[in-house]
């Protein structure tokens, strides 16, 4: 992969204030959640389009930039000439977010930052509401009060549909089932409200589950592909799972970040469901992944109540026809390709040769 000019460390708001980023000729995008799965794919996508990309990172005691490290190329003396700049910030800190929006003056903001784990949101309901819900309002207020023409993308979710049966489209009623989904629903309606009340160009992408080799390790798909790789490596003998019955509409994150960008290029802001239109159970995912390496899941998968949720979302299947019609978007990556890509990546990480285990893998 091509290495790009970038500031190695995040820069402080004070440093940032001294720089006139708006003199850059390129379109400027600000991404919250840039260290996450989607943030990393979106950053790659926008850099390839020639954008100057600014990302918000949180301070932590250990560096947490594994998904974007490959984009980095130190240019500590002249961040204003870089195409990729990281800033410290947090969705719970409105002062910092305000100053960032004021100094970066982005053409587009992609609000991807969130405590995004549904089960964990039951343990941290207040924090999830603060970061995922109020955090969105903080950004919308920053754009509104500064009077900027910034276009805003909100990372909404199929979890907002919750109990409402499929297929789910833009007109389906919401019934959230977790603190995460409730917080995201608040953020969704705030996005709609700022569009209607303050005429912001604000779009909400209602994205169904999307996965990749960069998926967090405690989401079910990655847990399964990583678990299989560890079984093959002799590091794990049982894979402890929760409810295998729920059904999800799984696509590839790389396809889905393109839809985010497409929404912000339209003449009018609107909300769109982004999905494949096909649903499969967690058990289907498990069977497919184990099947691809010739293992019998019955020998390895055990049920563990620790992974059962207080309230479950039973079935999600999106109707992406509006996105197809108006954006010209459709999911490109097949389910089989997605599972293979994830398995192959996890095998390499665990030191297992995919060509020996992955059925149909090309011999190197
Ligand atoms: P992810 O991998 O969990 O990434 C979340 C990102 O948000 C990380 O960069 C994280 O930073 C950052 N973050 C969390 N709390 C923050 C805070 N208080 N302040 C600043 N940054 C914070 O999530 P993802 O899968 O890429 O999803 C991206 C967005 O789409 C999320 O809003 C998610 O809720 C939403 N969404 C995801 C899916 C899906 O299937 N993936 C579907 C629908 C909607 P750290 O790295 O420091 O933790
Ligand atoms: O669970 C079941 C679990 O955690 C999927 C987030 O990106 O997508 C994601 O939320 C299903 C659930 O994703 C385990 O009960 C069984 O029914 O991979 P997940 P999620 O909850 O669908 C939406 C669209 C988002 O917006 C979220 O941010 O799998 N399941 N056994 C398990 N889930 C996990 N995590 N671990 C298990 O052991």
Per-residue confidence (pLDDT) for residue 7, from 0 to 100: 40
Q: Where are the beta strands (DSSP E) in 173-216?
A: 201-207, 210-211
Residues within a 6 A CB radius of ligand 2: 116, 118, 157-159, 208-209, 218-220, 223, 241-243, 246, 248, 282, 307, 309, 312
Pocket probe mutation, ligand 2, options 209, 284, 342, max atoms within 8 Å of Cβ: 209
Helix (H) or strand (E) run with residue 207 in it: strand 201-207
**157 is an active site residue:** yes
Global confidence as pTM = 0.95
The token duo for 149 is 């023409």
CA–CA distance, 32 with 35 (Å, rounded to integer): 8
Query: Is residue 105 exposed (0-12), middle (13-18) or buried (19+ Cβ within 10 Å)?
Result: middle
**What is the mean pLDDT of each successive set of 10 residues along the chain, which is 364 residues long?**
42 60 79 98 97 96 94 63 91 98 98 98 98 98 98 99 98 98 99 98 98 98 98 98 98 98 98 98 98 98 98 98 98 98 98 95 67
The token duo for 36 is 């996450």
- Beta-carbon contacts of residue 96 (< 8 Å; ≥ 6 apart): 13, 88, 89, 90
CB of 96 closer than 8 Å to CB of 89: yes
Backbone dihedral angles phi then psi of residue 56, each to the nearest 5 degrees: -100, 125
- Beta-carbon contacts of residue 108 (< 8 Å; ≥ 6 apart): 27, 28, 29, 30, 150, 151, 152, 153, 264
Per-residue confidence (pLDDT) for residue 112, from 0 to 100: 99
Instruction: Scan for tokens 């990556």, then name that residue.
Output: 333
CA–CA distance, 322 with 173 (Å, rounded to integer): 16
Pairing assessment for the beta strands 247-248 and 280-281 based on DSSP bridges: antiparallel
Per-residue confidence (pLDDT) for residue 82, from 0 to 100: 82
Per-residue confidence (pLDDT) for residue 286, from 0 to 100: 98
């Amino acid at each position: 992969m091509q290495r790009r000019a970038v500031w190695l460390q995040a820069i402080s708001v004070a440093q940032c204030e001294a720089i006139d980023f708006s003199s850059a000729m390129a379109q400027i995008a600000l991404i919250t959640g840039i260290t996450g799965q989607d943030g990393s794919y979106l950053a790659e996508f926008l850099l390839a389009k020639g954008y100057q990309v600014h990302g918000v990172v949180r301070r932590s005691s250990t560096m947490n930039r594994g998904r974007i490290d490959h984009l980095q190329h130190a240019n500590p003396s002249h961040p204003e000439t870089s195409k990729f700049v990281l800033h410290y910030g947090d969705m719970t800190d409105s002062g910092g977010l305000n100053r960032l929006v004021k100094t970066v003056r982005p053409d587009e903001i992609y609000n991807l930052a969130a405590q995004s784990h549904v089960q964990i949101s039951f343990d941290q309901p207040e924090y999830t509401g603060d970061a995922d819900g109020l955090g969105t309002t903080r950004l919308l207020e920053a754009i509104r009060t500064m009077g900027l023409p910034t276009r805003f993308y909100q990372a909404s979710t199929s979890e907002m549909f919750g109990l409402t049966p499929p297929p789910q489209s833009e007109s389906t009623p919401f019934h959230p089932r977790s603190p995460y989904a409730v917080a995201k629903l608040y953020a969704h309606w705030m996005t709609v409200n700022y569009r209607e009340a303050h005429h912001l160009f604000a779009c909400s992408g209602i994205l169904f589950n999307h996965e990749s080799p960069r998926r967090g390790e405690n989401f079910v798909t990655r847990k399964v592909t990583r678990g299989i790789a560890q079984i093959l490596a002799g590091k794990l003998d049982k894979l402890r799972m929760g409810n295998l019955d729920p059904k999800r509409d799984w696509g590839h994150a790389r396809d889905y970040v393109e839809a985010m960008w497409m929404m912000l290029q339209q003449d009018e802001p609107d909300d769109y469901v982004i999905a494949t239109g096909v649903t499969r159970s967690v058990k289907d995912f498990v069977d497919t992944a184990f099947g691809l390496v010739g293992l019998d899941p019955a020998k390895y998968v055990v049920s563990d109540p620790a992974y059962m949720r207080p309230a479950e979302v039973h079935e999600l299947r999106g109707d992406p026809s509006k996105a197809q019609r108006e954006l010209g978007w459709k999911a490109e990556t097949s389910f089989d390709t997605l599972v293979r890509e994830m398995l192959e990546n996890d095998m390499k990480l665990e030191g297992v040769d995919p060509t020996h285990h992955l059925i149909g893998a090309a011999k190197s």
